[in-house]
Structure 1
Amino acid sequence: MKPSLKTIALLSTALLTAYTSTEDKVNDLLQRHMNAFVFVEGGSFMMGNPGLGWALGADSYPAHKVTLDSFSIQKYEVTQGDMDLFMEVTGYVSAYKNYDKDRERYPSRFVAKLPAVAAWSDAMAFCNWVGNSTKKTIGLPTEAQWEYAARSRGKMYRFATDTGEAIASVNMASRSTKVYTDPTALPLPPGSFPANPLGLYDMSGNAIEWVQDNYQPDYYAYSLEHNPKGPKSGQIHDSDSTMDQQKVARGGSFSDFWGNTTVTRMNIPQSLIGLETGFRCVKQN
């Protein structure tokens, strides 16, 4: 039995409505992300630990001069809701093999309003997609760009807060002591605390953020001065017979407090996710 003209019309309307709704959501996402970029005028600064107890890791030494061209960086961390929409409309599958299992195990971490849970490749893919969709050059920030922006153009700010200092539950989240076992021990929605002087939120102590660079513990000893992009290859992480290159993540996380300084570095295998990781995008001007 052939469907009636009325049935066909209703199905066509439903399909058009669904298409339009998805298209509208994508357009809204792209517009929000483009509006969230904050211009950062280039300049020179001393990158790394100035020797004032800002970080414990030896890999944050030595402080070294870096000169950057101007760029724009997003004021907020990308949310899980936006990551979900990207994956839905593009068919993208996470580089982390247990992504779906972790979603089932930790549903409270994959809430739409929280920072996106992503492997390094996932974060890069999202930023590149925004760039390709808007015909702009968009990706993850370099480690130098991230630190320069977190320190409000390289100022002597230990934390990326409104004052450069950290006050628990006032301008930075207090340390969560029951990470993953306590449903309240989660990162907060982006923008929950005051921005740094450049207008950037949560660059200390929410989700530790992926940056573009490969990780080598001694890289600061031989970093280029002008627009450094990190070493050619990352330190290899060998786990479960899988060789995985390590990338840099910056800014600390909700599971720490004093480790959330603007110079603290973290090395994470590029195809893994941590429930503490997140990211924001950068646009080249």
Structure 2
Amino acid sequence: MEAMVFVEGGAFMMGNPGGWAMGADTIPAHEVVLDDFFIQKYEVTQGDYEIFLDASGHSMKARFYDDKRKESPERFSAELPAPVSWHDAKAFCLWLGEQSNQPVDLPTEAQWEYAARSGGKPVRHATDNGEIEPGRNVSIASGPKAALYGDKRAMPDAPGRYPPNPAGLHDMTGNAAEWVNDYYAPDYYQNSERMNPQGPESGEPVTIAPGLQEPERVMRGGDYQGPIINSSTVSRRVVPESSMPLSSGFRCVKN
């Protein structure tokens, strides 16, 4: 498994520790205990994903995938994080596990946050120093104006351009919003399991088109288009599982 970083398990207080205005679904902070795991050092690139498509014959599940590729071809450059739906990200990770005969999957929400916080430390951003310094440890597009209003014209950075967090992981703040395995429930933190939580057993269906409903999943880490404050290590983004925001991306874990 190339570019996997070992993360030693342990206990941490998952969620908003208080004083971070990140939404009601980030509280209460609650103790979680995780086993050891490995997580990819970088976001999966479009080039990586094209290799998977060619080798596996996977059929994209993202709605309007072809239309989005035609409308924004530059967003699908080989060196950039791959924008996909939850289904497509999940398929890549499971395929990677099949090729290596290893238990590979999308990270749980708890694994993602623990890794972003370098072992559960109380840091607001997954940068080398826990702070946002545009042009040094995050994209210059995340400057003061974008910090407040976002930047709809920006592109994500190629993975690895800026320093990693202390755990050795790149781009977990404000690059591509990363899919995690969990269904979404706004009150899940009130009744989360303590040991290796897997998220809710199901998600509340939402209407995505006339006569079509599907559950929502969680994305973490903010994204290059939105206000940089939303890239907090505890903020949560909710997206229907077949949607494919151009600001999306993902990485896999080995359990």
Give the TM interval when normalised to the shorter protein. Answer: over 0.9
Match for 2:247: what amino acid?
A: E
2:252 aligns to what? Answer: 281
1:162 aligns to what? Answer: 128
What's the CA shift string for 1:27-54, capped at 9, x where partnerless?
A: xxxxxxx12111100100000001121x
Matched, 1:253 2:216: no
Q: Match of 1:148, SS?
A: helix
1:228 aligns to what? Answer: 197
2:185 aligns to what? Answer: 216
1:76 aligns to what? Answer: 42
CA distance in 1, matches of 2:204, 2:138: 31
Q: Match of 2:93, SS?
A: helix
CA distance in 1, matches of 2:248, 2:157: 12
Q: Identify which of 2, 14, 30 aligns with 1:47.
A: 14
CA distance in 2, matches of 1:56, 1:147: 14
What's the CA shift string for 1:215-249, capped at 9, x where partnerless?
A: 00110000000000000111322121210110011
CA distance in 1, matches of 2:25, 2:230: 14
Asked which structure has the greater CA Rg, the reply is 1
Q: Identify which of 186, 193, 197 aligns with 2:155.
A: 186
What's the CA shift string for 1:94-143, capped at 9, x where partnerless?
A: 11131111101110100000000110010010011110001000010000
Greater RCO (Cα-Cα under 8 Å, separation 6 or more): 2
Whether the 8 Å CA contact 2:221–2:235 is kept in 1: the answer is: yes
Matched, 1:244 2:211: no
Please report the TM-score for the alignment, with normalisation by the length of structure 1: 0.84
Please report the TM-score for the alignment, with normalisation by the length of structure 2: 0.94
CA distance in 1, matches of 2:246, 2:5: 27
2:5 aligns to what? Answer: 38
Matches within 5 A, 1:21-170: 34-53=1-20, 55-170=21-136
Matched, 1:272 2:243: yes
CA distance in 2, matches of 1:89, 1:109: 22
CA distance in 2, matches of 1:159, 1:235: 29
Following TM superposition, by how much is the alpha carbon of 1:178 offset from its aligned partner in structure 2, in angstroms?
A: 4.3
Measured on the aligned residues, the alpha-carbon RMSD in Å equals 1.0
Q: Percent identity?
A: 50
1:3 aligns to what? Answer: none
Q: Which runs of 5+ in 2 are unaligned?
A: none
CA distance in 2, matches of 1:119, 1:97: 8
